[in-house]
Amino acid sequence: MTTSRPLRADARRNRDALIARAREIFDGGDEDLRFDDFAGLAGVGTGTLYRHFPTRETLAAAVFQEEAATLSDIAHQLQATLPPGQALAVFLHRMVDHIDAHQRLARRLVALLATAPDEMAQSGQRLEYAVAELVADAAAHGMIRDDIPAGAVMMALHGISGAHDRPNWTTEAHDVLTLILDGLRPPHPDRPRPTDHR
């Protein structure tokens, strides 16, 4: 079994510079930029670009991974500082705000990674784990019902983010989150749960 070697400090800096510049470019909506131009804009050679990222899609996957890592860090910070349940609610609303603030970036990454679903799924695993921890923590403390898996919450988030082209997306997204969070609340002991339709 082979393992990838850690990058040298200079190689790491070059890779980070490419990712940071690409994020700015994708977020700025520059659709006509040639892939080779990413190198010059990041201050590295073309060979360095292709050594780290052979295609535009692999570079987009790295940007998506950084976005997922940023959101995962926010989830962990909220989990460490807020009560269970509240941490989940605050995180979900912050995620909507993050997507809203970077709508062009979200659209560009979705478009580029549409042909690379495996890379997108792999990059998003860290975020899925962070959401799963928030859900499990809230369920363990009785703040949300324990019969809804974290995967269902992630599916709802994917559906919300996939509709970001709607004119009133931000308002509607927060409203949908309110519905989701209401549905996650434990049922009142005197009120029967709805019959499972499956």
156 and 197 share one domain: yes
36 and 112 share one domain: no
Q: Angle at Cα 129 formed by Cα 17 and Cα 117, nearest 5°?
A: 65
| pTM of the model as a whole | 0.81
Look at residues 35, 54, 73 and tell me which one is the last residue of a structural domain: 54
44 and 123 share one domain: no
The values of phi and psi at residue 113, to 5°, are -95, 5
Roughly what angle, to the nearest 10 degrees, separates helices 56-81 and 103-113?
A: 130
Helix (H, G, I), strand (E, B) or coil at 143: coil
Domain extent, residue 49, equals: 1-54
12 and 110 share one domain: no
**49-86 pLDDT tens trace:** 999 999 888 888 889 888 889 999 999 999 999 999 99
Of 44, 90, 51, which is closest to residue 71 (Cα–Cα)? 90
| Sequence-separated (6 or more) residues with CB below 8 Å from residue 93 | 174, 177
- Assess whether pLDDT exceeds 60 at residue 33: yes
- Assess whether pLDDT exceeds 50 at residue 195: no
Residue 162's pLDDT is what? 80
| Sequence-separated (6 or more) residues with CB below 8 Å from residue 163 | 169, 172, 173
Q: How many domains does the chain have?
A: 2
107 and 44 share one domain: no
Residue 26's pLDDT is what? 86
149 and 61 share one domain: yes
When pLDDT is averaged across residues 109-121 and rounded to a whole number, the result is 71
| Sequence-separated (6 or more) residues with CB below 8 Å from residue 177 | 89, 92, 93, 96, 160
Give the CATH number for residue 71.
1.10.357.10
- Assess whether pLDDT exceeds 60 at residue 194: no
183 and 105 share one domain: yes
26 and 82 share one domain: no
66 and 26 share one domain: no
| Region of poorest pLDDT, from 51-60, 94-103, 115-124, 178-187 | 115-124
44 and 138 share one domain: no
Residue 119 vs residue 45, higher pLDDT: 45
